Amino acid sequence: MTLLDHKDAPAEAPPGPTPPTGIAAWLRDLGLGVRFAAGGGREGWVRTVLTAVGVGLGVALLLTAASAPHLLQERSARSQARAESAVPGGPDARAKKSDTSVLRVNAETEYRGRTVEGWLMRADGTRPVVPPGIARFPGADEMVVSPALKELLDSSEGSLLRERLPYRITGTIADSGLVSPGDLVYYAGSATLTPASGGHRIAGYGNPGEGEEMPPVLIVLIIMICVVLLVPVAIFIVTAVRFGGDRRDRRLAALRLVGTDIRMTRRIAAGEAVFGALLGLLTGVVLFLVGRRFVGHIEMWNVSVFPSDLVPDLRLTALVVVAVPLTAMVVTLAALRSVVIEPLGVVRGGRDRGRRFWWRLVMPVAGLAVLGMTGKVDEFSPVNPYPIAGGAVLVLVGLALLLPWLVEACVNRLHGGPVPWQLATRRLQLSSGAASRAVSGITVAVAGAVALQMLFAAVGDEFNRMTGQDPSRAQFYTFSEKVTPEAAARTIEEFKATKGVEAVIGKVEVYVTRPSKYAEDDLQPTTSLIVGDCGTLRELARIDSCEDGDTFVVHPRNDKELSDWVDQTARKGKEVEIGNAPGGKTMRWTLPADSPTVVARHDPLGEDSWGIMATTGAIDPSTLPGATTQSQIRVDESVEDVAEYVRNTAARLDPAMRVASLKSVARDEKYASVQRGLQVGATATLLLIAAAMLVAQLEQLRERKRLLSVLVAFGTRRSTLAWSVLWQTAVPVVIGLTVAVAGGLGLGATLIAMLDKEVTDWWLFLPMTGVGAALILLVTLVSLPPLWRMMRPDGLRTE
Amino acid sequence: MSIGHTLLGLLESGPRHGYDLKRAFDEKFGHDRPLHYGQVYSTMSRLLKNGLVEVDGVESGGGPERKRYAITEAGITDVGAWLAQPEKPEPYLQSTLYTKIVLALLTGRSAEALLDTQRTEHLRLMRILTDRKRKGDLADQLICDHALFHLEADLRWLELTAARLDRLAAEVGA
Amino acid sequence: MTPAGSLLSADSLYKTYGQTPALDGASFSIHPGEVVAVMGPSGSGKSTLLHCLAGIVTPDRGTITYAGRELSAMSDAERSSLRRTEFGFVFQFGQLVPELTCVENVALPLRLAGTKRKEAERTARHWLERLEVDTVGAKRPGEVSGGQGQRVAVARALAASPKVIFADEPTGALDSLNGERVMELLTEAARATHVAVVLVTHEARVAAYSDRDVTVRDGRTRDLEHAA
């Protein structure tokens, strides 16, 4: 029925230029499209630039994602390079003392929620090995620090940490010795470190075996994060390619008027889209390269990255470069299939056809089925990532496909209501496609995030249970291998004098066994030997009289079985073997026959201890092999920086003292970093989608400039139109979020079932709905100034 | 308008008396000016003499002569020829208005005022015709539209002239 | 200076867009129930005059009085409210909200003024019937012809029972047959309901539907009948 649809050119073309055919025609039309995109006047440029920026943002994100393999590899390589090298001869073998060997002890600490890695080191000889990135071995009471730590120590914010690390700074660690630019690391020299005080001899650095295998749960999580972040980016690119489509269609209609046929117009449109996508690709590469230079200065959620680590994988880059323009073309051609461009205008088809429901449901259901059939993932067998990724992609993309149908179905049932609501719903009824497209990105991102958060909660709660501590009694637990006769007493004193500390229990403790020959699997009678002064011991057990030199056998209260177990080792007048670390030194000691048996009592922190208790006069704690000085500390949490005061005291007592905080959940650092990655990505993705919605909104407003002026002439209130803009954004977003939450809960529950864990919290999606609401508000607010501007009467002037 | 051809055309549907002819003419075409009976009589005698009509019968008795006229073959041919021949478009080259404007310019009177007065007069007539058209039947509407379009054309010319008065003044003055 | 008995009058309006003067001392007045044509060549300032009279644009200088109230002394909100309740508008094109059905479009001014939906749509149907387009009520503007659309627009202007209708080239996009019908229906309904119509047009045949005409040339008005 088209007037100019003469694809079949006259058989006998008159002499003159013959129209090209086949590939040549394709190239000509694509080229024509490129020319329209590039030379289409201001309007054409606006459209091209919008597409380019949109695609560019997406491409930049994709390139960042493509850098992940190299990034992880480099980080793990540097991490391995600074690990101590393995000593041949099994795990218990020790490095031999030599001119190059070094004694060192881990002196890691935590400062205001951030980990500060650190080692105390003492050279055995004149040519000590140094870790990567360090020029000179630090002398006694000197340290080399990472640039980020130096900055922190120099700032007023780091003054408390400076107290803890009083060493003179003699240099900084080069990038090769750091995993990421924001790392807080120090290497301090010590003149007093000995194996007895926890020192550990190493022969060199570099351990390719270091860096454990990722646990399967973590692999599942990482796969999910990639899918959740990249699917919306892909959807965003698809949306960006269609920016300004309505206007483009009208221009194509004009082309039809001068005699192009339908196929030609489609190819021209494809050419325009490809041009925009290519520009976008370029923009993306530039954004990536420019962003990369600044990435070293940016730290989000304690994640920072060296620019040199951000090198996209070649194959993935090639994929992006090919896929983006190709996607642009395919999307454009597909979009034009539902549109008939006639010489005198554009007819949107597909309206009468309606959106079918059933095939849209196939994908998410198939995805859940794939996940269901994958079966359980356990800790011991390797994970096959493909079904998990595939299933998750099917579910998420399926949700995105389900959305347009659902939005249409919901919107068509809406009618009535106040004027702004009516304007918005009618608008959506007329064309909900653009809105659905943008929102489908949100749906995927939110569904994925909900599923992931459920997973995190399920996995994280398990760690919570494992710590099993009651922080209402003690918030800190310290542990030191430095043991002196007065160690426990001094520890208690010092901590008691620390600001904010309410109660302290300190003791020197070592394991003792009944000496004998034991087969490998035998249960060796074991108990603990606690050394302290009379005051300390009185707090741990019901002791009537105590003099220095006394020893006691302490039974737990009301537990005959456990008391008998204690007595099997603590035989009065008989020897016990002290120190049972495999391969470590041991010593024998005779429990005095006159040791009274007493009963344990609750210590001030509510804990019970039992076994053998001895005063420092009975046994010198500094001679005990494998003994540790331990303390439990309760603090007044209302005191600001109380944790830092405790840690500073600990560092003064022994720089290598471990301070564990029982208050916060002992979360696996790896999970924490994965979660951080998710947060970074989700934020970027949601911003992208907000940008896409905004562009669509502004485009629509611009198209309706005249109509807005007419409505103003009518006396329409600004608020009426503002509300209609809000509703127009809100309705699809709310529907999208509903789908997202339902889908996310389903996916999350499925994945949790796969990992054989239980759903711990069904309400984790609530913050996400908050994010959705923020998005609606953001898009509306940013659309308002242009709306006000367009609501001027200028639009009425036609002459 | 050729009254002879019009009356001939009216006779083509069947013979009529002179008085009937006048009534039919007035009804269909004589909106503003009814035909005098004498005019009918003189026209019919001319047509009779030329052999385009013939007398079909005479009814005597009472009142004026009552002849019944019928059209002849030659008459029918003549009507056909008249209808087939296009009317000569009015050239409108001798315009009183134009003369008035030039004279106004030559004598230093306000040509603009003249134009405005004329515009108002034209519009006044157009308003009357529009009103009549609204109340009348289709014939009224067509007749009025014909007049309205012509008046509109005049008005456009007035507008155009008003816009070109300065140039015209310069040329006339030169 | 307010001519006695006038509903809406303007005196010595000046308005400049950038460097271009659009109104250069224009005056105007209209009585209740009167249809006044504002004529003049393109760019003469007709539309600006209409925009000023309707309170859409504020003149740089001059006074506009509507029913004894000074328009330039009103706030934007007050003028908007005036437009909602007392004025109606018909433009040349692009005035119907494309996503609303014709009935909803006609009901829109009523609803903006606070009428309940059912009530507003009943009134809207009545007006569509009066303008002989009741058959297109459920259709969207994109699905009706230009003439029908313009009649819907006229129905919309009349629906809220305004005191003044501002019509800016209401037949500009129509052929003469449709244009005349729209003019006929508009002026008939206006006279029947005693609504004043400010009719901006450059076509004499459209202007002939008025009671009186005012010519704008170079931003100045000439009202010959009044001057005479």
Between these two residues, B147 and A352, which has the higher pLDDT value?
A: B147
Q: Are C8 and C64 in contact (CB under 8 A)?
A: yes
What was the pLDDT predicted at A504? 76
Is residue A13 included in any domain, yes or no?
no
Structure tokens at A386: 């493909």
**A501 and A588 inside one domain:** yes
Q: Which amino acid is at A26?
A: W
The rounded percent of chain B whose pLDDT value lies above 70 is 93
**A585 and A621 inside one domain:** yes
Q: Do B129 and C208 touch (CB under 8 A)?
A: yes
A357 has pLDDT over 80 = no
d(CA B120, CA C134): 38
Which residues is A530 bridged to in the sheet?
A: A509, A613
Nearest-CB residue to A720 (from C43, C112, C168)? C112
Interface of B with C in 132-171 (CB under 8 A): 134, 148-149, 151-152, 155-156, 159, 162-163
Nearest-CB residue to C208 (from B148, B156, B162)? B148
**A75 and A45 inside one domain:** yes
Q: Residue A633: enclosing H or E segment and its boundaries?
A: strand A628-635
**A498 and A607 inside one domain:** yes
d(CA A83, CA C225): 103
Q: Which amino acid is at C170?
A: P
For A629-665, what is each residue's pLDDT tens digit? 777 777 777 777 777 787 777 777 777 777 776 654 4
Between these two residues, C63 and A62, which has the higher pLDDT value?
A: C63
d(CA B113, CA B100): 12
| pLDDT tier for residue A466 given thresholds of 50, 70 and 90 | very low
| pLDDT tier for residue A4 given thresholds of 50, 70 and 90 | very low
**A250 and A154 inside one domain:** no
C and A adjacent (3 or more CB pairs under 8 angstroms)? yes
Is residue A470 included in any domain, yes or no?
no
**A773 and A785 inside one domain:** yes
Would you tell me how many other CB atoms lie within 10 Å of the CB of residue A658? 18
**A509 and A646 inside one domain:** yes
| pLDDT tier for residue A790 given thresholds of 50, 70 and 90 | confident
- Å from C111 to nearest chain B CA? 34
C99 touches chain A (CB under 8 A): yes
What was the pLDDT predicted at A673? 61
**A606 and A726 inside one domain:** no
What was the pLDDT predicted at A126? 80
Is residue A796 included in any domain, yes or no?
no
Is residue A14 included in any domain, yes or no?
no
A218 has pLDDT over 50 = yes
| pLDDT tier for residue C66 given thresholds of 50, 70 and 90 | very high
The rounded percent of chain A whose pLDDT value lies above 70 is 77
Q: Do A798 and C92 touch (CB under 8 A)?
A: yes
What was the pLDDT predicted at C227? 42
**Dihedral sign (CA A614, A620, A623, A628):** positive
| pLDDT tier for residue A468 given thresholds of 50, 70 and 90 | very low
d(CA C47, CA B159): 19
Instruction: Kindly state the average pLDDT of the residues B3-29.
Output: 85
What was the pLDDT predicted at C32? 92
| pLDDT tier for residue A234 given thresholds of 50, 70 and 90 | confident
Is residue A491 included in any domain, yes or no?
yes
The rounded percent of chain B whose pLDDT value lies above 90 is 10
Would you tell me how many other CB atoms lie within 10 Å of the CB of residue A7? 10
The rounded percent of chain C whose pLDDT value lies above 90 is 38
What was the pLDDT predicted at A666? 42
- Å from A707 to nearest chain C CA? 6
Nearest-CB residue to B155 (from C41, C184, C204)? C204
Give the contacts of A217 (CB within 8 A, at least 6 positions apart): A377, A379, A459, A755
What was the pLDDT predicted at A457? 72
A3 has pLDDT over 70 = no
Count: domains in chain A: 4
Q: Do B120 and C225 touch (CB under 8 A)?
A: yes
The ipTM (two decimal places) reads 0.82
Give me the count of residues in chain B.
174
Q: Report DSSP letters for A378-424, one per residue.
A: -SSSPP-HHHHHHHHHHHHHHHHHHHHHHHHHHHHT---SSHHHHHH
For A181-195, what is each residue's pLDDT tens digit? 778 888 888 877 777
CA atoms within 13 A on the CB side of A308: 9
Domain boundary among A305, A340, A375: A340
For A242-251, what is each residue's pLDDT tens digit? 766 666 777 7
Q: Do A796 and C51 touch (CB under 8 A)?
A: yes
C1 has pLDDT over 70 = no
| pLDDT tier for residue A11 given thresholds of 50, 70 and 90 | very low
**A597 and A492 inside one domain:** yes
Between these two residues, A516 and A429, which has the higher pLDDT value?
A: A429
Q: Are B116 and B100 in contact (CB under 8 A)?
A: no
| pLDDT tier for residue A584 given thresholds of 50, 70 and 90 | low
What was the pLDDT predicted at A13? 41
Q: Do C205 and B156 touch (CB under 8 A)?
A: no
Name the neighbours of C, counting chains with at least 3 Cβ pairs within 8 A.
A, B
A273 has pLDDT over 60 = yes
3-state SS string for A339-368: EEEECCEEEECCCCCCCCCHHHHHHHHHHH
Which position has the token pair 């998710």?
Answer: A678
CA angle B73–B75–B78, rounded 5-degree value: 115
What b/e sequence results for A768-785 when a residue is b if at least 16 CB atoms lie within 10 Å of its CB, and e otherwise?
bbebbeebbebbbebbee
Provide the residue range defining the domain that includes A652: 476-663
Domain boundary among A629, A663, A697: A663
Is residue A214 included in any domain, yes or no?
no
| pLDDT tier for residue A20 given thresholds of 50, 70 and 90 | low
Q: Are A256 and A30 in contact (CB under 8 A)?
A: no
**pTM score, whole prediction:** 0.64
C109 touches chain A (CB under 8 A): yes
Domain boundary among A663, A683, A713: A663
**A618 and A487 inside one domain:** yes
What was the pLDDT predicted at A632? 77
What is the phi/psi pair of residue A168, to 5°? -75, 130
Mutate to test the interface with C, among B159, B160, B166 (most CBs of C within 10 A): B159
Say whether B24 sits in a helix, a strand or coil.
Answer: helix
Nearest-CB residue to C222 (from B116, B152, B155)? B116
Q: Do A798 and C57 touch (CB under 8 A)?
A: no
For B88-116, what is each residue's pLDDT tens digit? 877 776 688 888 888 888 888 888 888 88
Nearest-CB residue to A715 (from C57, C81, C168)? C81
A and B adjacent (3 or more CB pairs under 8 angstroms)? no
Is residue A6 included in any domain, yes or no?
no
Q: Do B127 and C208 touch (CB under 8 A)?
A: yes
Which residues is C221 bridged to in the sheet?
A: C216
Is residue A1 included in any domain, yes or no?
no
Q: A70-79, A621-630, A775-784 — which one is most confidently predicted on average? A: A775-784
> Using a CB-CB distance cutoff of 8 angstroms, which residues of chain A are in contact with residue C51?
793, 796
Interface of C with B in 12-71 (CB under 8 A): 41
Interface of B with C in 61-120 (CB under 8 A): 116-117, 119-120
**A519 and A657 inside one domain:** yes
**A555 and A537 inside one domain:** yes
Tell me which of A13-27, A42-56, A540-554, A741-755 is least confident: A13-27
User: Mean of the per-residue pLDDT values for chain B?
Assistant: 85
Q: A66-80, A175-189, A309-323, C22-36 — which one is most confidently predicted on average? A: C22-36
What was the pLDDT predicted at C8? 93
